[in-house]
Amino acid sequence: MNKRLQGLDLYRIIGCAFVIINHCNSKVLLQVTPGSLAWYVTVGVIYLSKITVPGFFMITGYNLLHRKDDRITYFKRIVRIVGVLVVFSIFYYLWRNGSNGSFGGFMRTLWHDGATDAFWYLYVYLGLMVMMPLFQWVATAFDASGKESGEAGAHGKRSLLVKILIAAAVYVSLIPSVCILVPAFEMNEFFELPMIGCAVMYLFIGHAFYLYRDEIRAGEGVRVKDLRLTAAFFACFTVNMLLAMAENRITGGGSFTSFSEIHTVGMLAESFAAFAFLIKVRGEGFGGKLIRFAAPATFGIYLFADFVCSSTHMIYYNLCQYMNRLLAVAVQDIAAFAIALTAVTLLRLIPPVGKWI
């Protein structure tokens, strides 16, 4: 595995762990008493785990937008995602419905509802793959190779991409964030029709990271810039926590998760800082071996996440009799991740399966 991508692999692993945390314990965590210590821990866990999806989008942009895929590669990628979606939708539909299911019910689930909550991302990812040739064509306008326009021209193209992304972020993330606290600020819905979505914005942010990869990853060891990124991440995380508390007061305890959505400016900033820091990771020694072992299984862990979470709920219920429920939640999360990692690693040893998950 390419050593330069160790940081992205680490982000995938962390992201899959957060997927399990969200899907194992979201109902449990949302039932805590506002203002209690458990409530603050819950808010922290939720707002920390929400960097997962933006990170996955940015990783996709980093890895794919600079390429020029041929038709065979394009269709192979589409077929793989569609195949995985259909097979695992069958798996989840049969698991939940058994003999009570029907072909019509399955098709309605596959086409409209989604077989399980976590698959909303798979549908978005499929849409991104369908549009990938267009996105790759647009990305070539910001090619930083310098071969055609010289180094100065290439730098200008990269800067233009950054400026466009900043302008997009103002509308895509800042305005929705303001509207959460001040609903009257919301604009006419038809103004949004021609705007790019947040998934596409994150995709091109990932491409911007690719264009600046040499500058970002330059140097060895921990530097002042790295410490600043760490500080920026925790600053964004703290601001998101404060916004959650403000929302909780405004709604009278009715909600505190609106600012955890991927289209809010706080989550954009938090995800950006996390990606900028993790992209610099160079896996070495035992830590590098762990990353190389777990990273290939991340897609499979995501696919099995809801099944493993539901199957391990008894661990949580039994442990609640003997310990604090947040500790019980943590034990269940660790067990679910370990089970999923082990199962997927073994399944990947089967040649046909290994190519798909």
Stated pTM of the model: 0.89
Quick one: what percent of the chain has pLDDT higher than 70? 90
The tokens for 5 are 């991508």
Residue 44, burial from CB neighbour count under 10 angstroms (0-12, 13-18, 19+): middle
Interior/surface letters 282-299, b for 16+ CB within 10 angstroms, e for the rest: ebeeeebeebeebbbbbb
Number of other residues whose CB lies within 10 A of the CB of residue 106: 18
The reported pLDDT for the residue numbered 220 is 53
The tokens for 69 are 């895929």
CA angle 69, 9, 145 (to 5 degrees): 45
CA distance 188 to 102: 42
pLDDT at 2 over 70: no
List the alpha helices (DSSP H) in 150-195. 150-169, 175-181
Residues 134-148: tens digit of each pLDDT: 999 998 887 654 444
- 179-201: average pLDDT: 81
- 107-124: average pLDDT: 92
Assign 12 a pLDDT band (cuts: 50, 70, 90): very high
**Best-predicted range by mean pLDDT (278-292, 306-320, 333-347):** 333-347
Residues 90-112: tens digit of each pLDDT: 999 999 998 888 899 999 999 99
Residues 247-286: tens digit of each pLDDT: 888 877 777 888 888 888 889 999 999 998 888 887 777 7
The reported pLDDT for the residue numbered 27 is 65
- 181-197: average pLDDT: 79
Closest CA relative to residue 264, chosen from 287, 246, 285, 291? 246
Mean pLDDT of the chain: 85
- Tell me 33's DSSP state: P
CB 250 within 8 A of CB 181: yes
Number of other residues whose CB lies within 10 A of the CB of residue 28: 17
- 171-197: average pLDDT: 80
The reported pLDDT for the residue numbered 146 is 44
Residues 43-91: tens digit of each pLDDT: 888 889 999 999 999 999 999 999 988 999 999 999 999 999 999 999 9
Residues 155-177: tens digit of each pLDDT: 667 777 888 888 777 777 888 88
The reported pLDDT for the residue numbered 228 is 81
